[in-house]
Amino acid sequence: MSVPVSLSSAEVTADGPITRSRPALSPSRAADFKQCPLKYRLRAIDRIPEPPTRAAVRGTVVHAVLEDLFGLPAAERHPERAATLVPGAWDRVRAERDGIDELVAESGPEALFDEVRRLVTSYYELEDPRRFEPHSLEERVEVDLDGAVPLRGFVDRIDVAPNGLLRVVDYKTGRSPGPVHEARALFQLKFYALMILRTRGIVPAQLRLIYLADKTLLTYAPDRDELDRFERILTALWRAIIDAGRTGDFPPTRNSMCRFCDFKPLCPEFGGTPPPYPGWPQQHSEPAELGSPGALPPEDV
């Protein structure tokens, strides 16, 4: 079915429409849609910029330090050497992102450096990076389920043991989730496991979330049947996104996370008005057909 979509005036230039990248499912965007369809739309389709936060920038710098750490010979990956990597990681993040200087304008970057070093020090209480070599770092993984459901994500680290068993690792700079929020963490792990299965043809032996703020490990061992079921869940979720993409109906959902949302001024739940719907990005195709409609499994989404 072909549905015409409109372009806002901001997307049209003298040379024609501005190309927008095709939406895809990542763990973050899937979580956005489940939490609030309007939030998903404003992030994934409208691409409205959000101001950086100190916590997000700190997390990015920590990830950069750990990536640089594994670029060193194993014998040099000691805590003192890791601490020296912080300024260089900050410079790289600062060069790639606008607006982060304002986050440290009052106290200077040294206070942020200290926060990053404390988190990196916590890492050494959970793993010793001198004892193994990662298979890959910050690997971009993309796959289309059945040619119709695009999955996309960056995996912080993949380890492969001598016997071929594979482990997927993701670093978190916040605290570990309580029982109420653990399902969201497991959703992310299942997402990565499914992408590894579909791209490499193997089920990861272990998936690990490393929470640096409270020095906690969350591990998960997936199985093939569970991942096959999870694929059906993601297909249903993508179908719901496609349906919303055709109609432009991305309703706001008030929830406990609203207090952290940068889009409140545009949200009808808080007296705002969203911008005109720009339509589904067109450079690839109209939203794909996925078969007959189906409801999202309530226990998982």
Q: Which of 86, 109, 130 is the last residue of a domain?
A: 130
pLDDT per residue as tens digits for the range 91-148: 999 998 888 888 888 888 999 999 999 999 999 999 999 999 999 999 999 999 988 8
Are 58 and 139 in a shared domain?
no
Are 144 and 189 in a shared domain?
yes
Are 66 and 125 in a shared domain?
yes
Are 164 and 207 in a shared domain?
yes
pLDDT for residue 21: 65
pLDDT for residue 177: 85
Has residue 290 been placed in a domain?
A: no
At 192, list the tokens: 């990565």
3-class state of residue 217 by DSSP: strand
Has residue 41 been placed in a domain?
A: no
Q: Which of 209, 227, 245 is the last residue of a domain?
A: 227
Report the C-alpha gap between 260 and 295 in whole angstroms. Answer: 29
Tell me the mean pLDDT in the region 288-296: 36
Query: In this predicted structure, which of 21-35, 72-86, 280-294 has the lowest mean pLDDT?
Result: 280-294
pTM attached to this predicted model: 0.83
pLDDT per residue as tens digits for the range 220-272: 899 999 999 999 999 999 999 999 999 999 999 999 999 999 999 999 999 99
- Higher-confidence residue of 185 and 60: namely 60
Has residue 277 been placed in a domain?
A: no
Q: Which of 107, 130, 153 is the last residue of a domain?
A: 130
Domain count, the chain: 2
Has residue 153 been placed in a domain?
A: yes
Are 101 and 156 in a shared domain?
no
Are 170 and 219 in a shared domain?
yes
Tell me the mean pLDDT in the region 19-48: 90
Report residue 178's pLDDT band, with 50, 70 and 90 as the boundaries. confident
Domain of 172 in residue numbering reads as: 134-227
Report the C-alpha gap between 132 and 226 in whole angstroms. Answer: 29
At 261, list the tokens: 């949302």
Has residue 143 been placed in a domain?
A: yes
Report the C-alpha gap between 157 and 23 in whole angstroms. Answer: 24
Are 92 and 177 in a shared domain?
no
Dihedral sign from CA coordinates of 73, 192, 115, 43 = positive
pLDDT for residue 20: 54
pLDDT surpasses 80 at 16: no
Buried-exposed string 218-238: b where 16+ CB fall within 10 A, e elsewhere:
bebebeeeebeebbebbbbbb
Are 126 and 201 in a shared domain?
no
Has residue 264 been placed in a domain?
A: no
pLDDT surpasses 80 at 80: yes
Report the C-alpha gap between 247 and 5 in whole angstroms. Answer: 9
